[in-house]
Each structure stands twice: as structure tokens, then as C-alpha cells.
Structure 1
Amino acid sequence: MTTLGLALMGTGRMADVYGPKINAHPGLRLEVIYNPRITSAQKATDKFGGRPMDDLDAVLADPKIDAVVIATPTDTHVEYIEHVARSGKPIYCEKPLDQSLDRVDRAVAALRDHPVPFMLGFNRRFDPDNAALRDAVARGEIGRVNMLMSWSREPSPPPIAYVRSSGGYFIDATIHDIDLLCWIAGERPVEVMATGSCMFDDQIGAEGDYDMTMTMLKMPSGALVHINNSRACAYGFDQRLEAFGDDGMVQTLNHRDDNLVRWDKASTVARQPLKNFFLERYDQSFYSALDEFHQAVTTDRAPSVTVQDGRDALAISLACSQSAKSGKSVSPSWE
């Protein structure tokens, strides 16, 4: 197996996700952790290994660095993509590309001018259950697709400081569902309708954002897509998909530590609680996404999640935000 030496950019929550996954992959080697604050880089290397560096040009000039994983705050992604693309290094970047289509178009242009392998981290495509549902739909098991539905409910609202910089619920969270369901459907919506409310955290409402949303996408085929999001859920991290077609239906179910159903004299059903958060529910998907990146780079093929996928998902998310604010249906901007 060909081994890639990686530079991990960033030392926050997503770096904490990717550090262990890089170390667990036999074809990846963590060479460097980059942060412009060397003390932060040092703390991260104390946990995950590699060398701390605070000079990006020096990182990209290092012959031991074969590719870069960008796990920095969203508002830094475009500048880092431009910089890394000019160096000729392959790039894996956390989603979203940015909160602005104009800035995303800068990343698209940089990758057009410097065509390095690029993969966007929509990790939920690589969840085994989600991928199996998509494969079943693609094989025609349910015939023509009529409806796609997703439930994505988080256990509790994030800190208000995070909400303020998130770009809004549709861009921060619904974008995952949008990308996943458009990927399953194999088409982009011609119209979106969305609405939101604030039921759990008044501070989120005071910021002009929502903690509960419903979204509908109308596809060119006529299929309808429904996305149900909530920032609070009393029983854990609720993650389900359903595809309904002419010939049947396929679903994914929530994950638990075990899925045994127990029957006895005292109770009819007793099950373990749901996985608590995305870090537990989608743990395997992050490893599988990095594996896809490794295979693409080492076999000289294009990664399966492209910069255009990221642009499309953002355009739809922005249309959802506009729809929720205006109370009207909106057609996404593809230009």
C-alpha cells in the first residue's frame, strides 16, 4: 500500500476527529500539524504525533508532505485551498467550503487553474447505512423514487458563540442532509421551500437563527425531498433516512450500542439509548472518507466528492435560508 504523508491543518474539534483517523489508517502518516499559533500546534502533536509547524509555506515545501487535510474554521477554507492548490498538493477539506458563493467560486477557480486532487468532507456519504440505502436506490430496488426523507436531530443546542459564526442552521447543519439526499436522488432541486422556528434556546432566536427547521426540495423528476432538523432531542442523536418509490421503501435506523429488543414479564421492549452525537454516530464514516481520499490520490483518479458538490450544497442551503426568511419558495442559483 502506498503511504501518504499528511499535513493536518487546524487544531480544533475537527482536527481531534481526523488526527486519530489518520493514525489508524495504514496508508496515511501524520507528518505535520499546522496552526499559525505554534503553541496550539504543539498541543495537538502531543496528542496525535507529527511535528508542529506555524509556517504554511514551509509546510507545503516539505518533501515529506504528500497531501493536506484542511480542518480549520470555515472562513479560512478558501484561502488555504488557494494556497495549497498553488503548491500542487492534493487537498481534503472539511465542509462547507465557505458561507458565500462568491468566495466558493474563488476556490473553484483555484482548483481549475491548479488541478490538484480535491475532496470535500461530506462524511455522511461514507456511513455504511447511508451508502447501502443509496446503492439500493441506484439498483432500482424501490423502482422510481417518489420521496426521500431525512430526520436529523441533535441532542442539544451548540454554544451561542458557535451559532453566531455558523452561517445559520441551513448552512451549518441542513447542508449535510441536502448533500446526502441530492447524492441519493442523483439530481439537484429546481425549487426549495423551508421554514424554521425557535423552540429550545431563546438566544438562538435572538440571533435571528432557528433551532428547528423543515425543508422541502422539489426535484426535476417530480420527486419530493423532506428534511426534518432540530437542535435538541431528548432521546439522543436521531439520524434516519427513508426512500419511498413505486415498488417499495428502504430505510436506515438509528444506531445504539446494541440493537437487541428484549421481552420479559415486566416490559415489552427495552433498548439501549441512541448514540449521543455525530462523533459517535458517524465515527466510521470519517475513516472511510479518508480511505476514499487515499485511494483516489494513490490510484490517480478523481475523489468522489467534488468542489462542485460543495458549491451545489451551499447554493441550495442559501436558497433554504432565503425561503425561510421570505416565506416563499426559491429556486437555487447555479451560476
Structure 2
Amino acid sequence: MPAPSSAPIRLCIAGEGAMGSTHARIFADMPGVKTVALAAADMSRGRQLAAQYGIPDCSDDLAATLARTDVDAVVLATPSGLHAEHAELAARLGKPMLIEIPAALTLADTERLARVQAETGVPMMVAHSRRFAPPHTTLRERIQSGDFTLHHLVCETYFFRRNNLNMFGEPRTWVDSLLWHHACHTVDLFCWLLDESEFDVWGQRGPDHPELGIPMDITVAMRSRKRGTLLTMAMSFNNKGPFGGFYRYIGEEDTYRAFRDELTDSDGKVVEMPGAQPAFEAQDTEFIAALREGRPSRCDIASVLPAMRALDGIDRIMRGEPAAR
């Protein structure tokens, strides 16, 4: 479990790819935190990352690294298909964790992780970074206070991923999921913005890529059963041009556009958000703060279950399967 509040929290980062590198950079500059170990599948890339951020140890044995007494907690930035397995391993070894999104690639595995957390008492936070982006936190506060009535959240998510590369343009050994990873960000955001769990859902998918074996284009829609608020998403791995998630909040009082950490109103004027921290930094700060304070994080594994249930329903519709009972 974490060290006393006067001592640094000693981390293991599992994963040498784009997100492992991102977390290593953030924690290298965070007071009261020391990354003591890196677990890597590709030891050559792992050693490079460890050297870049002064991480003293790099190993290809995650279980042995997590079993070390000088590791207090772990950031799981391994391939998406391994998140559930690695999260349970960490929990059984008593190590609190930040799991990169998605927590798992199925609803069943996510529900199992929630049960493991309840059984072991080991905290599991999931990196649903949209919950920490200043535009979204600002508008959620207004929605929850009744100051802004959201009618329709429209999201366009675009990448050009016809080759198996990560967000830094580096080769991947695993295939990303447009639905269970990228759509998961926005499905969870919608659930969180409204603080609701009951939705009607719909989705459609384009053809699978002949080599990657995944749909490259999808459409997702949700409707709040309580308020009737809509979510519409268009997502593509085929888009040439600017990439990322582009959000339009269409409300009664105004329309806002959010991109990464910037928010603009219907006139294109930037909305000032004094003291706002970038999303990834705010998310990782929350992980450490929750550990130090001995409380559930703002993105505890149980809190992501409504989004994962919605994704499961969308996935079933896309595959032409009956809805879960």
C-alpha cells in the first residue's frame, strides 16, 4: 500500500508505449512521487524510456516488479487487451493502480474488476481523461447546477490509422479499438456529464480493415431516458487532416465547442478557465491525491460501469446480437 504521507509514493509504470511515456513525463515532474520501476514488453524501448526519465530499473517481468516492497502503486499502460489481466494481478498483490482506458475490452471483464476491487479493497482508478479536461469539467459544473441545459452533445473523433501506429506514429504490437477505447471516452463523458446510467443506445459500423481486422468507421448515438438529452458521435480511423476529439455542446443558453483543453462559445470567443490544469496532469494528480488521502478516486472502477454497459449494448447492436438481459 502507499507510503506514509511524508514519504514519496513509489510507482511502477507498466508499458513503454505512448501512454507509458506520457505518464512517465508527468510523474517525473510531480512532487512527492518517484517512479522506481518500468515494466516493458520491448526491453530496448523500455530502457530508452527509463533512461529518458531517470527510472532506475526496467524489467520484462511485471509480476516480479509488482511484488517488490519498494513499489507502492502502478500505472497500467499496457496493451488494451491486457488491462483486465494486469489489473487483477496488481490487485491480488495489493498494489493500487491507475488503469489506462479502457479498463477492459468487455463489460464482463470490467464487472469482474469491480468485484475484485470490492473483494480486495485495492483501489482501481481508470484513466477516463475527459473527466479531467477543463472544458468538460467546466460545463459539467454548469449542467449539474442548472446553469446550462444540454440538449445535444455532438462529438467527432478523427485519426488516420490505416497502419498500426500509436499516437506518436510509432509501430504497435496490438490493434486499437475505435469503439472500446476511443468511443469509451465520450460515452463515459456523456454518462458523467448528466450523472445518469439509463440510456437508449444505437450504433453502426463500417467494413473491417483487411489487415487490422477492425471497423475503421463507426457511428454511435445515445439518448438519456430521464431528460431526453442526445449524444451523437462520428468516428473514423480513415480521416486525413486534424486528429483528436472535437466536441460541440448544443444547449438552451449557448453552444460551446471543446477541443482538448480549450473551450469557445458560439461567437468563437475563448472561455477563460482560471487555474485549469491540463487533463492528463489533472488526472494523474488525482490518482496520487486519492492514494494519499485514502479515498476513492474521481474515476473509480465502479463509476465507469454505466459507460461500459452502454458500450456493450452498442457493440451488440453493431454485431447484430441480442441485447443483454
Measured against the shorter chain, the TM-score band is 0.7 to 0.9
Other structure's SS at 1:103 match: helix
When residues 319 and 164 of structure 1 are mapped into structure 2, their CA distance, relative to the original with a 3 A threshold, is farther
Amino acid at match of 1:90: P
Mapping 1:82-121, distance limit 5 Å: 82-121=88-127
* Residue 206 of structure 1, CA deviation: 6.9
Greater Cα radius of gyration, structure 1 or 2: 1
Counterpart Cα distance in 2 of 1:167 and 1:310: 20
Q: Which has the higher helix share?
A: 1
Aligned twin of 2:298? 304
* Residue 295 of structure 1, CA deviation: 0.8
8 Å CA contact 1:8–1:69 kept in 2: the answer is yes
Other structure's SS at 2:294 match: coil
Aligned twin of 1:71? 77
Counterpart Cα distance in 2 of 1:65 and 1:100: 29
Counterpart Cα distance in 2 of 1:122 and 1:285: 10
Other structure's SS at 1:302 match: coil
Q: Structure 1 stretch 216-225 or stretch 158-167: which is displaced more?
A: 158-167
Aligned twin of 1:157? 161
When residues 56 and 206 of structure 1 are mapped into structure 2, their CA distance, relative to the original with a 3 A threshold, is closer
Mapping 1:1-335, distance limit 5 Å: 2=6, 3-35=8-40, 38-50=43-55, 51-143=57-149, 145-154=150-159, 156-160=160-164, 165-166=174-175, 168-197=177-206, 204=209, 209-221=214-226, 222-237=228-243, 239-245=245-251, 247-254=252-259, 284-326=278-320, 333=324
* Residue 70 of structure 1, CA deviation: 0.7
Q: CA RMSD in A?
A: 3.1
Consecutive unaligned residues in structure 1, runs of 5 or more: 260-282
Counterpart Cα distance in 2 of 1:100 and 1:114: 21
Consecutive unaligned residues in structure 2, runs of 5 or more: 167-171, 265-276
Q: Deviations over 1:148-195 (max 9, x none)?
A: 2222222x1252488995474211321111111111121124321112
Counterpart Cα distance in 2 of 1:139 and 1:193: 29
Question: How many residues in Structure 1 have an aligned counterpart in Structure 2?
Answer: 301
| TM-score between both structures, scaled by the size of structure 2 | 0.81
8 Å CA contact 1:22–1:29 kept in 2: the answer is yes
| TM-score between both structures, scaled by the size of structure 1 | 0.78
8 Å CA contact 2:139–2:148 kept in 1: the answer is no
Counterpart Cα distance in 2 of 1:228 and 1:21: 31
Amino acid at match of 2:108: D
Counterpart Cα distance in 1 of 2:303 and 2:210: 30
Aligned twin of 2:269? none
Counterpart Cα distance in 2 of 1:54 and 1:157: 28
Other structure's SS at 2:254 match: strand
What percent identity do the matched residue pairs reach? 21
